[in-house]
Amino acid sequence: TSRVKMASIETAAEHERILREIESTDTNCIGPTLRSVYDGQEHGLFMEKLDVRIRNHDREIEKMCNHHFQGFVDSITELLKVRGEAQKLKSQVTETNRRLQDDGKELINSMEELKQCRVQQRNIATTIDKLTHCLPVLEMYSRLQEQMRAKRYYPALRTLEQLEQTCLPRAGQYRFCSIMAENIPKLRTQIRDTAMTQLRDFLESIRKHSDKIGETAIKQAQLQRSLDSSISMQPRALIGRRGRKLVAAAMTGMDSDGQGGSPVSEQDSGILDVEDEDEDDEVPGAQDLVDFSPVYRCLHIYTVLGLRDVFENYYRKQRRKQARLVLQPHSNMHETLEGYRRYFNQIVGFFVVEDHVLHTTQGLVNRAYVEELWELALSKIVAALRTHSSYCDDPNLVLDLKNLIVLFADTLQGYGFPVSQLFDMLLEMRDQYGEILLKKWNITFRQVLDQDNYSPIPVSTEQEYRHYTSQFPLQDPELEKLPFPKKLPFSEFVPKVYCQLKEFIYACLKYSEDLHLSSTEVDDMIRKSTNLLLTRTLSHCLQYAIKKKNVGLAELVQVIINTTHLEQSCHFLEEFISNITNVPPDTVNATKLYGTSTFKDARHAAEAEIYTSLNAKIDQFLQLADYDWLAAVQGGGTLTASDYLIDLIAFLKSTFSVFTNLPGKVAQTACMSACKHISTSLMQLLLDPEVRQISMGALHQLNTDVKECESFARAGPVAGFQGDTLLLAFSDLRQLLELFTQWDWSTYLADYGKPTCKYLRVNPHTALALLEKMRETSRKNNVFAQFRKMDRDRQKLIDTVIKQLRNLIAQHHT
């Protein structure tokens, strides 16, 4: 029962809850609540409670209505009153609405007009906005056209890039934008091709004008060197600095439109016009002559186009081709200095341009590329100079060429190029220059020797004397004490040769200038060259002068005197070289001059020529000898010397009188040589195979002639001989003649081989040959037909002596 009671209580509570929920919940959401009632078993009970609840509400409503009914009636009454007023109000509103509609028509029209204005205003704003984006496009395109017409291609390319990347995308899709976009690649191609055309014109222009560029650079280097030759130039510190700064400023300048990276110069010419440069105090910089803007412009254009590598390869390839053309010398370059100068100017101009491009562009050319070009150039330059300079035979041209090469090397060295090979080649050319000098001085020396009168120089005044002593270092105190007029011991060729030696030394010194050689090297070079001049050139010229035809003994004597003085002057030449090179002569390893030996050799040659010439003259006299080899012995009277021998003795006396100025030994040797030659020649006359018969009378005549010669020798034609030394020249002939004329065979045969032999100098072969000639004479004598006893005895005696001589020869010569 309690369970039922609890269940009914729960059911009643649940129904109460449902009713409250129905009362408080929106009618749209009451469905689930009612379902829960019908799902349960007590829905009848619920319906009852629902009816009770409805009735309760109805009673409350009724109470409420009763409570407010009078108010409701009053409200209805008021409402009826209001209805009348409402009708009036409606009429008024209708009238007001009518009037409002009538008045609103104008407002609507105004509003329509306002609306139209708003639309127009919006369209205008839209148009302005669009124009704001389109006008920059048009303005930029117009600027592009102006830049193209003005040939300002790099700014045009920058404008084109800005137009394509910024302005056209903002402008939108318009037909003119499409046309512009289509033209942009064409314009780029046009700019690229035009820039390349300008570059080609630039390359062609600098190729043609490289001579002018190089000439200006060399002038500038020469000017700098002359301004301060003692201070070494810093590379690129002065040469072309102003030109480089100008061009560098041009590269980094701004164009008039404010676009960066455009060169200041928009000229397309490769070479600027420089007029009247000789009239200006300052030589223009080499780079001042060149407008590099085409290169920079083309480089920038190709960089913007993404074709920098293409441009670099093209530029380098073209410049290599130009380098080969520049380095190819003209076939007749060696004929004039101007040919060499033009060749060097072109090379300098080429490398000045490359050096400037290297330092004013970033990577268009690099150091390795320039060094490679220079190595190529250096090898070709050296080869060309070696070839062409070998044709040159003018020392002045070689010297000018050397100075030109030095200036060429110094100019390029100022730009940082290594030039040691050029100076090495100049040292090679030094030998060639020396050979050319030797040839020139060979001609000069020969002219001096040919024009010389080979007579002592007469001087009549102090002025003349000082003139010659200033040319040649004559130191003769005794000569200075003699009164005027007097004679210098040497002839004209001594001071002339000495002056020419100094001129040669000066010529060698000129070549060594500016070669960066030490004083020792210069001194060594000059000494070696001077030695060649002395030992080869001057020596040969002296030999030529000595050995040429028609040189008299007096001339030869003067040559000996001259060479003696030149030999004595050699130490003055040593001092002269030391003074101009500032190298003491006693320096270790210093080359000594060979002048002393040269002049000694020449003097010895002249001495030998004197001996030879004297002997030749003696032979001319001996050719006049006409001995009667079959002459009979004269019974009485005195024999006289032959005429030819008398003339010969007179000639020798006059000749030896000229030898007084010679060194004593030379005169003595000449006199001894002449006497020996006479003795030998007379001996040869006796032993001449063509003379087959000789009589005793002929021997007596020859003996008389020998006595005349001995008398000449005994008289001492030349001072300095001791005792009868000169007579020894005739001793062979004298002993032979005495042996035959005195017929002293017993003594000869008995004492032969002994040191004390009276006829020590008689050769048995010689005696045998002469005896056989005498036997032949005896056999063919007409008197022999009578066979006189005396003749028969003499014949037997000759035969006996011949037999004994043969036995003697057999004993001592087997």
Q: What is the 3-state secondary structure (H, E, C) of 652-717?
A: HHHHHHHHHHCCHHHHHHHHHHHHHHHHHHHHHHHHCCCCCCCCHHHHHHHHHHHHHHHHHHHCCC
* pLDDT(233) > 50: no
Contact 340, 391 (CB under 8 A): no
Rounded CA-CA distance 270/204 in Å is: 9
Report how far residue 775's alpha carbon sits from residue 781's, in angstroms, rounded to the nearest whole number: 10
- For residue 370, the tally of other CB atoms under 10 A from its CB is 19
244: Cα within 13 Å, side-chain hemisphere: 18
d(CA 676, CA 683) in angstroms, rounded, equals 10
Is the model's pLDDT at 789 over the cut of 80? no
Residue 256: the pLDDT is 34
Average pLDDT of the residues of the chain: 80
Instruction: List pLDDT tens digits, range 335-344.
Output: 788 888 898 8
The pLDDT tens digits of the residues spanning 156-209 come to: 878 878 887 787 777 777 787 888 888 888 888 888 888 888 888 888 888 888
Strand partners, 271: 290
pLDDT for 279: 39
Per-residue tokens: 765: 């072969």
**Interior angle at CA 586, CA 584 and CA 589, nearest 5:** 105
Amino acid letter, 694: I
> CA-CA distance, 124 to 310, in Å (whole number)?
50
More confident of the two residues 80 and 249: 80
291-304 pLDDT, tens digit per residue, is: 888 888 888 888 88
Tokens of 99: 């009037």
CB 150 within 8 A of CB 266: yes
Instruction: Give percent of the chain with pLDDT exceeding 90.
Output: 4
**280: pLDDT strictly greater than 50:** no
Query: Residue 757: is it exposed, middle or buried by C-beta count within 10 angstroms (0-12/13-18/19+)?
Result: middle
The answer to whether the predicted template modeling score (pTM) of the entire model surpasses 0.75 is no
Is the peptide bond prior to 755 cis by the omega test (within 30 degrees of 0)? no
Q: Per DSSP, what are the bridge partners of residue 459? A: 486
Q: Tell me the sheet residues that pair with 260.
A: 254
pLDDT, one tens digit per residue, over 109-130 is 889 999 999 999 999 998 888 8
For the chain, what's the residue count? 814
What are the helix and strand counts (H, E) for the chain? 28, 2
The confidence band for 384, taking pLDDT boundaries of 50, 70 and 90, is confident
Distance CA 219, CA 225 (A): 10
* Mean pLDDT for the stretch of residues 542-549: 80
**Lowest-confidence segment of 15-29, 46-60, 582-596, 771-785 by average pLDDT:** 771-785
Evaluate if residue 345 carries a pLDDT over 60: yes
**DSSP states along 435-448:** HHHHHHHHHHHHHH
- Looking at the chain, the whole-number percentage of residues with pLDDT higher than 70 is 87
Residue 409 has pLDDT above 70, yes or no: yes
pLDDT tier at 358 (50, 70, 90 boundaries)? confident
Does the structure show a pLDDT above 60 at 241? no
| Segment 756-776 mean pLDDT | 84
Partners of 678 in the β-ladder: none
Dihedral sign for Cα 684, 687, 689, 694, please: positive
In the structure, what pLDDT confidence band is assigned to residue 745 with cuts at 50, 70 and 90?
Answer: confident
Distances in Å between the Cα of 27 and the Cα atoms of 24, 31, 54, 55, 669 are 9, 8, 16, 20, 175
691 — pLDDT class (breaks 50, 70, 90)? confident
What residues contact 347, with CB distance under 8 A and at least 6 apart? 210, 214, 326, 327, 377, 381, 408
DSSP state of 279: G
Give every CB contact of residue 642 below 8 A, 6+ residues apart in sequence. Answer: 625, 627, 701, 704, 705
Mean pLDDT of 302-307: 84
At residue 267, the pLDDT reads 38
What pLDDT, on the 0 to 100 scale, is given for residue 286? 52
Which one is predicted more confidently, 3 or 314? 314
* Phi/psi at 488 (5° precision): -75, 145
Between 78 and 251, name the one with better pLDDT.
78
Task: Give the closest residue to 53 by CA, choosing from 78, 27, 30, 20.
Answer: 20
Q: How much is the average pLDDT of 471-499?
A: 87
Token pair for 647? 């003339």
